[in-house]
Structure 1
Amino acid sequence: MKHARIGHQSIPRWAYLLFIVLAVFVLYRIFQHRAEVAKASQPPVRPVLVAKVITKDVPLYLDEIGTCSAYETVQVQAQVSGQIIARHFQDGADVKQGDLLFTIDPRQYQAALDQAQGQLGQVKAQLGLDRITLKRQQELRARNVTSPQDLDVAQGTVNSDEAKVKSAEAAVAAAQVNLDFCNIRSPINGRAGLRLVDVGNIVSGGNAGGGGAVLLTIQGLDPIYTDFTVAETDLALVRRYLGGPNVKVQTDLSDGSIPPRLGDLYFIDNAVQPGAGTVKARAITPNPDRALWPSEFVRVRFILDVLKDAQLVPSQAVQISQSGPFVFVVKPDNTVDLRPVKPGQHQEGDMTVIENGLKPGETIVITGQLALSPGAKVDPKPYDAGNPKSDRQVAAKGAM
Structure 2
Amino acid sequence: MRKSKKTVVILGVVVVLVASGLWLLNKPAAHKLTAPTAIPVRVVEVVQKDVPRHTSGIGSVLSLHSVVIRPQVDGILTRLLVKEGQLVKAGDLLATIDDRSIRASLDQARAQLAENQAQLQVAQINLKRYKLLTVDDGISKQTYDQQQALVNQLKATAQGNQAAIDAAQVQLSYTQIRSPVTGRVGIRTVDEGNFLRMSDTQGLFSVTQIDPIAVEFSLPQQMLPTLQGLIKAQDPAAVKAFIGADSTSGDLLGEGHLTLIDNQINANTGTLRAKAEFANDQQKLWPGQLVTIQIQTALDKNALTVPPTVVQRGLDQHFVYRVQGDKVEVVPVQMLYQDSGLNIIQGVQAGDVLVSDGQSRLKPGSQVQVLGDPPQVVQAADAELKP
Q: Shorter-chain-normalised TM-score: which range? A: 0.7 to 0.9
Counterpart selection for 2:128 from 114, 118, 135 = 135
The equivalent of 2:92 in structure 1 is: 99
C-alpha separation between the residues in 2 aligned to 1:165 and 1:325?
89
Residues in 2 aligned to 1:96 and 1:104: alpha-carbon distance in whole angstroms: 20
Count, aligned residues: 342
Deviation at 1:80, TM superposition (A): 0.6
| TM-aligned CA distance change 1:263 to 1:322, over 3 Å | same
- 1:287-342 CA deviation, whole Å, 9 max, x = no partner? 322321222111123544444543321334345688876433233x3543343445
Equivalent of residue 47 in structure 2, options 28, 53, 72: 53
Distance 2:45 2:254 in 1: 28
The Cα shift of 1:214 comes to 1.7
Show the counterpart of 1:81.
74
Give the distance between the partners of 1:344 and 1:389, measured in 2 at CA.
33
Q: TM-score, normalised by structure 1?
A: 0.72
Aligned counterpart, 2:18: none
In the alignment, which residue of structure 2 is the partner of 1:225?
214
* RMSD after superposition: 3.5
In structure 2, stretches of 5+ residues that fail to align are 1-25, 245-249, 379-387
1:241 alignment partner, one of 223, 226, 239: 226
SS in 2 for 1:92: coil
- Once the two structures are overlaid, the 10-residue window that deviates more, 176-185 or 107-116, is 107-116
| Distance change in 2, residues 1:391/1:265 (3 Å) | farther
Q: Which amino acid aligns with 2:275?
A: A
- Could you tell me how far apart the structure 2 residues matched to 1:131 and 1:164 are? 14
Separation (CA, whole Å) in 1 of partners of 2:52 and 2:298: 9
% identical aligned pairs: 28
Is 2:166 aligned against 1:166? no
Which structure has more helix as a fraction of its residues? 1
Alignment partner, residue 285 of structure 1 = 277
In structure 2, the partner of 1:362 is 352
1:262 alignment partner, SS class = strand
**1:295-314, aligned counterparts within 5 Å?**
295-314=288-307
- Conserved in 2, the CA contact under 8 Å of 1:50 and 1:380? no
SS at match of 1:317: coil
Structure 1 unaligned segments of length 5 or more: list them: 1-29, 393-400
Provide the rounded CA distance (Å) in 2 between the counterparts of 1:291 and 1:101.
26
Counterpart AA for 1:358: V
Paired residues of 2:254 and 2:279 also in contact (CA < 8 A): no
Mapping for residues 237-386 of structure 1, pairs under 5 Å = 237-245=222-230, 248=237, 250-255=239-244, 256-268=250-262, 270-274=264-268, 277-289=269-281, 290-318=283-311, 326-331=319-324, 333=325, 335-343=327-335, 345-346=337-338, 350-354=341-345, 356-366=346-356, 374-375=364-365, 376-378=367-369
Rounded Cα–Cα distance in structure 2 between residues aligned with 1:121 and 1:327: 96
Kindly provide the amino acid, as one letter, of the partner of residue 119 in structure 2. Q
Shift of 1:203: 0.5
Shift of 1:196: 1.6
Could you say which residue in structure 1 is the equivalent of 2:107?
A: 114
Partner-residue secondary structure (3-state), 1:158 = helix
CA distance in 1 between partners of 2:276 and 2:107 (Å) = 48
Q: Is this contact kept in 2: 1:253–1:297, CA < 8 A?
A: no
Instruction: Compute the displacement of 1:352 (Å).
Output: 2.3
Write out per-residue CA displacement over residues 67-94 of structure 1, whole angstroms, 9 at most, x where no aligned residue: 2222233222100110001112121223
User: What is the CA-CA distance between 1:163 and the residue it aligns to?
Assistant: 0.9
Q: How far off is 1:151 after superposition? A: 1.6
1:170 positional shift: 0.7
Which residue, 47, 58, 62 being the options, matches 2:55? 62
Whole-angstrom CA distance in 2 between matches of 1:293 and 1:278? 28
Query: 1:51 Cα shift?
Result: 2.3
* 1:227 shift after superposition: 2.6
Q: Pick closer, same or farther for the CA change 1:123–1:249 going to 2, 3 Å.
A: same
Deviates more, 1:113-122 or 1:285-294: 285-294
- Return closer, same or farther for 1:175/1:272 CA change in 2, 3 Å cut-off: closer
What is the rounded CA distance, in whole Å, between the counterparts of 2:377 and 2:331 in structure 1? 22
- The structural deviation recorded for 1:372 is 6.0
Aligned partners of 1:95 and 1:189 also within 8 Å:
yes
